[in-house]
Amino acid sequence: MPHIAQAAESVITKHGRDATRLLQILIDLQQALGYLPPAGISAVAAGLDLPRARVEGVAGFYSFLHLEPVGEYRILFSDNITDRMLGSLELRDALCRKLWVEQGKLSEDGLISIDVTSCTGMCDQGPAMLVNGLPITRVDHQRINEIAELVRTRVPLSAWPRAFFHVDDNIRRRDALLGQSFVSGSAIEAAIRLGRDQWIDEMRASRLRGRGGAGFTTCVKWEACRDAPGSDKVVVCNADEGEPGTFKDRVLLTRCADRVFEGMVLAAWATGANRGFMYLRGEYAYLRPALEAELARMRAAGLLGRTILGEAGFDFDIEIHLGAGAYVCGEESALIESLEGKRGTPRIRPPFPVTHGYLGRPTVVNNVETLTKTTLIALGGGAAFAATGTAQSTGTKLLSVSGDCAFPGIYEYPFGVRIDRVLEDCGAGDAHMVQVGGASGVTIAGYEFSRSIAFEDVPSAGAFMVFDSSRDPFDVAHNFVDFFTHESCGFCTPCRIGTSLLKGYMDKLARGYGAKKDLADIEWINRLLRNTSHCGLGSTAPNPVVDTLAKFRPAYERRLRTLDFEPAFDLDAALAAARRITGRDDPAAHLDSGDKQHTEGER
């Protein structure tokens, strides 16, 4: 295996033997070898002087890193509920049949493996898939046939029709941000003219809050980082947009990468940071070349690097780090762990990243949209920014609209927009449920469509999934529970076990073995998850179930077989093997179902 050791050595050298770059090293090594063989793990461990278990532990954590061989063509169907509603499961089965391969298994000739993955952020143009990491949108049966043929004839991915990989931006409504033309460098120039302190004043006046979901006031974060002791501060752009149903950051990174990066420079100007990272989710790796080109252009224009725009002492540069398929890395402290080359396990807080973040340095982590919005504030001033939106939610919000509507895509509204307004604009005539804020967000029923998107009412990280009356709210919640079970990082017991238990109950109900007792147990597990989980993943995992149980309870109740208790399996069928072996079929060789037993009990 000298070529494995060689490949490992060259990747390690490229990354300067830096153990904090372990995740990037493993991603590059897998790119070279197809997967991460044991010899590769050992070589990396030896090359970085790390325990082998540490390296394998990291490799085993991320969904997109493989310790077993995968197909030459590795196809992953996006498994968000919106993809399913567009027929993704049927298409997956069709492709599996055509290529004679079972889902999750490698074909015997090593040619192909087909599986599902969490939402890939293409909900407005689904069903979507990733082929060797590249997104293919609008998959239909014709495309499946063509893909099967391309795989069978071993056509290299670079020779596949370009149209397959076309990703639309689908911007449907523009407001302050998307409606404004932007001259690169103008925001940085304006902020430098203001001076660091007055720039912070403008940010304070804007009352900008984080767009990633939690809604923390951006200026408070920046000031805390600025005031924290330590000179080597860090600005991180969180581009790990993993929340199912959210794709606004993808569009911002495609359409206005200059503004995103400029927002990072503005954060550096305010905090005094000199190092920047963009943590880009693995699903968006296809955007990297364009982003790197943008960074190079900005460096050439003096907008990055030493003495930015001639301002002495203003040094800041940005590096892109890739994620590898872990939703939990969207949580800021897990993201920082991942940036340091570790498993994405959320940290215990406090201390908060603003004082002890990347490698213990003061670190600001901001969402893509938040950073983009700061360019508006630099150009137009904080007061003008605060003039739109609502009292506690200033400015505009990008919504990623998908599901049962005529015009899915990106809609920018001032905060405070009513849900029924959005539904009208996106052509959702028959909506009976909306999932706002993604899987961990809020389920909105028809009687609440007059509510508004704002931190005061319905907060949102950006997802807006519409479901019409033909959809079953139970299936929606079931899909989200599967998602959380898969994405739980496994660090804390309540979340690791709790999400699995919850999935067990949802599966039981889905198979038709539901009982009233299950609903009580589900509510108990929901409470456990909410109150005892280590991080937000576990505490928000039960949200879709809690909400649909409250607002769409009949969707659960119609799945109940009895009002008391029901086993999750057929007891009589569990005796079938023993009947066959012994050749018995007497009455004692059978068990009645729970139904009969309960009716007798009631008598």
Partner 1 sequence: MSQLDKKPRLRVATTSLAGCFGCHMSFLDIDEHLFELARLVEFDRSPLTDIKECGPCDIGLIEGGVCNAENVHVLRAFRANCKTLVAVGACAINGGLPAQRNHLELEACLREVYEHREGMDAPGVPNDPELPLLLDKVHPIHEIVRVDYFIPGCPPSGETIWKFLSDLIAGRTPRLSHELLRFD
**E-strand stretches of 283-350:** 317-322
Shortest CB 575 distance to partner 1, Å:
5
Q: Which long-range contacts (CB under 8 A, 24 or more apart) does 303-311 make?
A: 303/184, 303/185, 303/188, 303/261, 303/262, 303/265, 304/261, 304/265, 308/188, 308/192, 308/265, 309/185, 309/188, 309/189, 309/192, 311/192
For residue 131, the cross-strand partners are 75, 134
For residue 453, the cross-strand partners are 458
For residue 562, the cross-strand partners are 515
Q: Which is nearer to partner 1, 359 or 574 (CB)?
A: 574
Neighbours of 582 (CB within 10 A): 11
Q: Which is nearer to partner 1, 53 or 571 (CB)?
A: 571
Shortest CB 528 distance to partner 1, Å:
14
Q: Which is nearer to partner 1, 193 or 584 (CB)?
A: 584
Shortest CB 583 distance to partner 1, Å:
6
Shortest CB 502 distance to partner 1, Å:
16
- Helix boundaries (H) for 541-583: 543-551, 553-557, 571-574, 576-582
Segment (H or E) for 500: helix 493-510
Bridge pairing between strands 73-78 and 134-136: unpaired
Shortest CB 194 distance to partner 1, Å:
57
Shortest CB 182 distance to partner 1, Å:
59
Q: Which is nearer to partner 1, 198 or 493 (CB)?
A: 493
Q: Which is nearer to partner 1, 61 or 513 (CB)?
A: 513
State the Cα–Cα distance between residues 423 and 431, nearest whole angstrom: 8
Q: Which is nearer to partner 1, 365 or 515 (CB)?
A: 515
- Reduced to 3 states (helix: H, G, I; strand: E, B; else coil), residue 159 is helix
Q: Which is nearer to partner 1, 313 or 601 (CB)?
A: 601
Q: Which is nearer to partner 1, 381 or 504 (CB)?
A: 504
- Helix boundaries (H) for 155-231: 186-194, 196-206, 218-227
State the Cα–Cα distance between residues 406 and 403, nearest whole angstrom: 9
Shortest CB 162 distance to partner 1, Å:
49
Place of tokens 């949580």: 331
For residue 515, the cross-strand partners are 562
State the Cα–Cα distance between residues 372 and 397, nearest whole angstrom: 11
Q: Which is nearer to partner 1, 312 or 577 (CB)?
A: 577
Per DSSP, 418 falls in state B
Shortest CB 456 distance to partner 1, Å:
39
Shortest CB 579 distance to partner 1, Å:
7
Per-residue burial over 513-523, b = 16 or more CB atoms within 10 Å of its CB, e = otherwise:
bbbbebbebbe
Shortest CB 576 distance to partner 1, Å:
7
Nearest to 119 by CA among 556, 461, 554, 531: 461
Shortest CB 133 distance to partner 1, Å:
36
Q: Which is nearer to partner 1, 141 or 596 (CB)?
A: 596
| Token representation of residue 20 | 């904090």
φ/ψ of residue 545, rounded to 5? -75, -45
Shortest CB 496 distance to partner 1, Å:
16
| Token representation of residue 491 | 């660090």
Amino acid residing at 168: D
Q: Residue 403 — left, alpha, or beta (φ > 0 → left; ψ -120 to 50 → alpha)?
A: left
Q: Which is nearer to partner 1, 406 or 588 (CB)?
A: 588
Place of tokens 């898939």: 129
Q: Which is nearer to partner 1, 230 or 504 (CB)?
A: 504
Q: Which is nearer to partner 1, 42 or 562 (CB)?
A: 562
Shortest CB 519 distance to partner 1, Å:
12
Shortest CB 601 distance to partner 1, Å:
5
Q: Can you spell out the DSSP letters for 259-303?
A: HHHHHHHHHHHHHT--EEEEEE-GGGGGGHHHHHHHHHHHHHTTS
Q: Give the dihedral sign, CA 226/389/404/214.
A: positive
**E-strand stretches of 156-272:** 171-173, 234-239
- Cis amide linkage into residue 127, ω under 30° from 0: yes
Q: Which is nearer to partner 1, 448 or 564 (CB)?
A: 564
Segment (H or E) for 437: none
Measured distance between the N- and C-terminal CA atoms of the chain, rounded to whole angstroms: 72
State the Cα–Cα distance between residues 401 and 368, nearest whole angstrom: 18
- Reduced to 3 states (helix: H, G, I; strand: E, B; else coil), residue 265 is helix
Which residues in this chain contact partner 1 in the complex, by CB under 8 A?
A: 517, 564-565, 567-569, 571, 574-584, 586, 588-591, 597, 601
State the Cα–Cα distance between residues 515 and 520, nearest whole angstrom: 9
Q: Which is nearer to partner 1, 92 or 503 (CB)?
A: 503
Shortest CB 264 distance to partner 1, Å:
48
